A and B are shown apart, each in its own frame.
Chain A
Amino acid sequence: MGIDRSQHSQPRAPLSRQSPLRSKNSKLLAVDSWYGFLLLCASAVVLLIILAIILEIYLQSRQSMHTFGAKFLTTKEWDPVDEVFGARVFILGTIYTSLWALLLAIPLSLGTALLLADIAPALIRKPVGFLIELFAAIPSVVYGMWGILVLVPWLLQHVETPISESQRWGRFFLFDAAPNGNDFLAASVLLSIMVIPIITGIARDVIRAVPQEMREAAYALGCTKWEVIRKVVVPCAKTGIVGAVMLGLGRALGETMAVTMVIGNSPDFSLPLFSPGYTMPSVIANEFTEAPSPLYRSALMEIALILLVVAILVNGAARLMVSLTSRRFRRVIA
C-alpha cells in the first residue's frame, strides 16, 4: 500500500508542476514566433537598403550610360572640363594595384595562417593572432598617413631609386619609369599590408576546420609534418583559402582613403610600378564633392556602379568557395 501510494504520487507530482510549465511554454512559443518575425523584418530592412542603394546608383548613372554607352569602359580620357569621361584607367588601376597587393600578401598571410593553425605553440599563437586581429581594426586613414610619412619616402629612397639607377633592372618593363614614391608600388604595398590580416585570419580558421582525424590518419601513415600540411591540410582547405584570398581582394578593390593618399592620383595607366595611377574608389572620393555638372556626377556614379558590381561578384565567389569547403568537411566526417 505504502509503496503503491508512493508510486502514484510520483507521477502526479510532476504532472501538477507540468501545467504551468506548459502554459509558459506556449507563451514562449508565441514570443519565439514574434521574435522570428522581428528578425525577419530586420534582415528584410538590410536587404531593402542594399537594393535601394543599387537602384539609386543605377538611376543616377543612367545619364552617363546614355551619353557614353559601353565606350565608358574603354575610353581613356577623363576630362572634367570638356566633359569626356571614361573609366578605363580607373578600372585598370584598381585591378592592377589589387592584384599586386594579393601577390605580395598571399605568401605572407598563408605562411602566417599555417603557423598559427598548425605549427606554433599557444605561447606564440595567441599573441600573434591577437596582433593580427588588431591590424585588421586599424582605420585605413591611419594606414594612409603612415604611407605618406613613412612608406613612400622609404620606398623612394631604398627601393625605387636604387632599382631605377641599376644597369641591370632599370630598363626592366616593370621598373622603367622615373621613380615618384607616390605610385602603384606604394599603393600595392600598403594594400597588401591592409589585406594580410584579413586573409590570415580567415585562412587560419579554415585550416583549423580541417578535421584533426585526417591529420592523425596522415601521421599514422608515416607522413612528416611538412607532408601533412602540403598533401592533406592545404588541399582540404584549398577552396576556403581561395575564398579568404578573394575576401582580401574585395577589401583591396574597395579601399579608398589609404590608396588615395599614396597612389599619386594621376588619371593614367601604365605597367611600370613606379608610375602614378588612379583607382575607382579614389576618383569618387576625390571628385564627387565638387562635381558641378549632372553628367560629371553621373559618370562618377557609373564608376561606383562598376565598383559595386565587381565587389559583389568577388564577394559572392568568395562566400561560395568558403561554404563549399566546410560542406566538404561535413561530408568527410560523415
Chain B
Amino acid sequence: MKTFKTAALIGIAASSVLGQAQALTGAGSTFINPIMQTWIARYRQATGVSINYQSIGSGGGISALINKTVDFAGSDAPMNPAEMQQAGRPVLHIPAVVGTVAVAYNVPGLGQGLNLTGPVLADIYLGNIQYWDAPQIANLNRGMRLPHARIFVAHRSDGSGTTFIFTDYLSKISSEWSSRVGTGKAVHWPVGLGGKGNEGVAGLIKTHPNSIGYVELAYATQNQMTYCKMANAKGRFIAPSAESGSLAAAGVPMPADMRVSITNTSNPNGYPISGFTWLIVYQNPARGAEIKRFLNWVIAEGQSFTAQLQYAPVPENVRAKLKAMINSIR
C-alpha cells in the first residue's frame, strides 16, 4: 500500500514535470505503444523535446485528433471516409512500423512450424474445418502427426488493430469470409471464444489444448508460443518475423496517401498477415515544425529500435516517399 502511494506520488510529480517541458502530444494505438515509449525516451535524449503519448486505442486517438486535443494519432487502421470528412482538413497517414500477426497454436505433441494456407485458416475461423486431422490441414503437413481433436478457436474480444489486420487478410483470401464476416477491428465471429487483449488470447491458447489463435508476433515469441508458417500469395510458407513483415510492405505498390493494406503480399519472402501502424497528422497542424521534426526522426533513426522490440521496420523504398510526404507539412 505504502509503495503504491509513493509510486502514485512519484507518478504525479513526474507527469507535472513532464507537463511543463512537453512539446507534442499523441494518442491512439496500443499496438505501437511499446516502441512509441522507446522513441519518446530516445527523442528526448537526442533533442530535449518531450512527447506525451497515451495508448487509448486507435479509435480514441483518431477522435482526439479530430477534436484537436492531440497533435498526432497512432492508428492500426487508416481513417475511414467518414472520419476523413469529420477531420475537415487534409490529413497525412505516415506508416511508422509494420505489425506482424502470428497464428499461434497449442497442440500437444506438435512442435513449431505447422503449415497453413489462407483458405484453410479462413475455413477454421468459419467453422468449416473442425478437426486438426482434417484432410485440408493434413495435406499441408505431411509427416506431422495431427490428432483427431476438435480445434479450439480463439480470437480477440476487444476491438483491436490486430483483429483488423487478421480479418482484412481473411477477407482478401476467402470470399465466404468477406461476405459472411468482413473486415473490422471487431467482427461477428462465426465460431470461437474471445479473449481480451493479446494476453487474453494467449491465455486461452495456453489453457486449452488443441487451440489456435492470433496474437502480435512479439507476444508469441516472448511467451514461447508455437506459431504457423503461412502461405503467401506466391505459395511459399513464411514464418512471421520482423524481416518477413517488412518485406510484405515492400511487395505492395504504395499509393500516394499511404492508406494501404499490405496483407496477402505478393513479395515471395513476405509474410501475408502484416499491416502498417500509422501516425496520423493534419497537413497544416498547429505545431508543424515540431511534428515534422519528430516524424522525420521516426522514419529515420526511429526505425533502428524496431528489431529489439519485435516490430518490423518500414521498408527503405517506402521511407523515401514518406520523407517527401512529411516535408509537405506546413
A residues neighboring B (CB under 8 Å): 77-82, 148-149, 152-153, 156, 178, 180-182, 260-261, 264-267, 276, 282, 285-293
Contact = CB atoms under 8 A, between A and B. Distances in A.
Interface in B177-212: 181-189, 192-196, 200, 203-204, 207-208
Contacts of A156: 207-208
B157 interface: yes
Contact of B83 (A182, A286, A292): A292
Given A286-B157, A289-B56, A290-B57, A182 B82 contact: no
B159 A286 contact: yes
A81 B192 CA distance: 18
Most chain B beta-carbon neighbours within 10 Å: one of A149, A260, A286: A286
A276 B153 CA distance: 12
Given A264-B193, A265-B193, A79 B188 contact: yes
B159 A81 contact: no
Contacts of B77: 292
Contacts of A78: 188
A267 B62 CA distance: 27
A260 B40 CA distance: 33
Given A290-B59, A291-B186, 15 more contacts: A78-B188, A80-B186, A80-B187, A148-B207, A181-B207, A260-B157, A264-B194, A265-B195, A266-B192, A267-B188, A287-B158, A288-B159, A290-B60, A290-B159, A292-B62
Contacts of B185: 80, 290, 292
Nearest to A267: B188
A81 B208 contact: no
B219 to A, nearest CB: 16
29 contacts: A78-B188, A80-B185, A81-B181, A81-B184, A81-B187, A82-B188, A152-B207, A156-B208, A180-B208, A181-B207, A260-B196, A264-B193, A265-B196, A267-B188, A267-B189, A276-B193, A282-B157, A286-B186, A289-B57, A289-B60, A289-B158, A289-B159, A290-B158, A290-B161, A291-B159, A292-B80, A292-B83, A292-B185, A293-B82
Contacts of A292: 59, 62, 77, 80, 83, 185
B93 to A, nearest CB: 15
A286 B59 CA distance: 13
Interface of B: 56-60, 62, 77, 80, 82-83, 150, 152, 157-161, 181-189, 192-196, 200, 203-204, 207-208
A77 B193 CA distance: 17
Contacts of B184: 80-81
Contacts of A265: 157, 193-196
Contacts of B208: 156, 180-181
B80 to A, nearest CB: 7
Nearest to A266: B193
Contacts of A77: 188
A260 B200 CA distance: 10
Contacts of B59: 289-292
B200 A261 contact: yes
A176 to B, nearest CB: 16
Contacts of B189: 266-267
Most chain A beta-carbon neighbours within 10 Å: one of B157, B158, B182: B157
